[in-house]
Amino acid sequence: MYITEIVECTDNFKLKKPGWASSESSIQQLTERGVLRLNIDTERTITSKPEAPQLRAYQQQTRYDQINPVSVAQEIDKAKVLYSQAKQLQKRSFDDLEQGHNLDVSAFKELSEGLIDSVFRNPQALTMMTRIRQKDEYLLEHSLNVGILLGVFGRFLRLDESTISDLVLGGLLHDIGKIRIPEAILNKPARLTSEEFQVIKQHVLHGQSIITESDVKLPDITVQVMIQHHEQLNGAGYPHHLTSADISPYGRMASIVDIFDALTGERVYKKAMLPTAALSIIRSMTPEKLDSDLVDSFIRCVHVYPMGTLVQLKSGRLGIVSELNEKMPTKPIVKLIYSAKHNRHIKVEFLNLAHATANDSIISAEKAETFGLDLSNYI
């Protein structure tokens, strides 16, 4: 239903702007905020959703079932090494392509397996690494982050082993075509003209060409991620303007993850957005552009305050979300590093906000640069 205004509410909650309530969870949130009556635009009500192909079911007793889970602390050092090695591979591959060589897909397949192993040992460690960004390495980091987050998302949805592997490979390769976009357009420190944006859109088709020229056969799911990650359910995406029924669930997943990482990444022409704000924007894009059910699942997957988010507590202390709490998403374990009240560093310690003795709570997500902090020094 398309909500136009709140008519009666016990908690002074006001609608920031009209929008869709597209799931039971949306209705529940309105109820919890005290909404008693509201107006809807019946002409914009969506009565049915075209069925997309189903996600491939999880199969028991896969290789990943043999991987023993570990804590974030046990996995984080391995994740750092793996992330660094993955960036080096991305850079070598891009350099090779610029010199006219074919893409070595086997190296990416091997990389994807290493990433997946880490995700299954503890998905939070590599997710933490996606929060450390370098403005001049966006292309390398973005493809790597999308691959990681698709693996984490696939694990959350309990997809089968081969599907997760295909998803990660698709994420790693999804922007490979940007290597053929002129540098002046790709890293332009200002708003693109309509003509320049049309050039940018060609990167998807360039990616197809690179794979064809490399004479490799990629899994269907990997190709769907590469080709469909900019498509939208209402047909307004690109390059093929596919509509709902023609976009696979894996293409839908890729769209969500791609947008989230792009919004939270630092670029030469824009500042990074807080993860909380990015998730809000993604939710606002449902159900017209993005799949509502998958967006809800992704938010549950990464949580309200994703790993690596800098948060301010009621006490005035700043901390980095260093471990998620599945049962209480707003009460993660945070690594305390700074006092916003006194503008100084404090003794580093971990605080589990779910413990009754914590006597503190998150009031907001914050940008590290506001306080002159470099989060890479604390992760």
Per residue in 146-159, pLDDT tens?
Answer: 999 999 999 999 99
> Which residue, chain included where needed, has tokens 């074919």?
102
Q: Which residues contact 131 (CB under 8 A, 6 or more apart)?
A: 264, 306, 307, 308, 309, 375, 379
pLDDT at 68 over 50: yes
pTM: 0.83
Q: What's the pLDDT score for residue 5?
A: 85
The amino acid at 74: Q
CA distance 141 to 87: 7
Q: What's the pLDDT score for residue 339?
A: 97
Q: What's the pLDDT score for residue 49?
A: 45
- Architecture of the domain spanning 72-302: Orthogonal Bundle (1.10)
Could you tell me the pLDDT band of residue 51, with boundaries at 50, 70 and 90?
Answer: very low
Q: Edge-to-edge strands of the sheet including 333-339?
A: 344-352, 333-339, 317-323, 310-313, 362-366
CA distance from start to end of the chain? 43
- Over residues 183-201, the mean pLDDT reads 92
Task: Please report the DSSP string for 322-373 in residue order.
Answer: EE--SS-TTS-EEEEEEETTTTEEEEEEEEETTSGGG---EEEEE-GGGGT-
Could you tell me the pLDDT band of residue 48, with boundaries at 50, 70 and 90?
Answer: very low
Query: Alpha helices of the chain — where are they, by DSSP H?
Result: 24-32, 72-98, 105-121, 123-129, 138-156, 161-173, 183-186, 194-201, 203-213, 220-228, 249-264, 275-284, 292-302
- Over residues 237-266, the mean pLDDT reads 95
DSSP assignment letter at 60: S
For 95, 108, 171, 218, the CA distances from 104, given in Å and listed in that order, are 12, 7, 15, 12
DSSP assignment letter at 236: -
Could you tell me the pLDDT band of residue 98, with boundaries at 50, 70 and 90?
Answer: confident
Q: What is the 3-state secondary structure (H, E, C) of 261-311?
A: HHHHCCECCECCCCHHHHHHHHHHCCCCCCCHHHHHHHHHHHCCCCCCCEE
CATH 1.10.3210.10 in the chain, residue ranges: 72-302
The amino acid at 294: L
Q: Would you state the structure tokens that stand for residue 252, as one six-digit string? A: 């839908």
Tell me the percentage of the chain whose pLDDT exceeds 90.
Answer: 68
CB 149 within 8 A of CB 127: yes
CA distance 267 to 192: 13
Q: Would you state the structure tokens that stand for residue 135, as one six-digit string? A: 């403005």
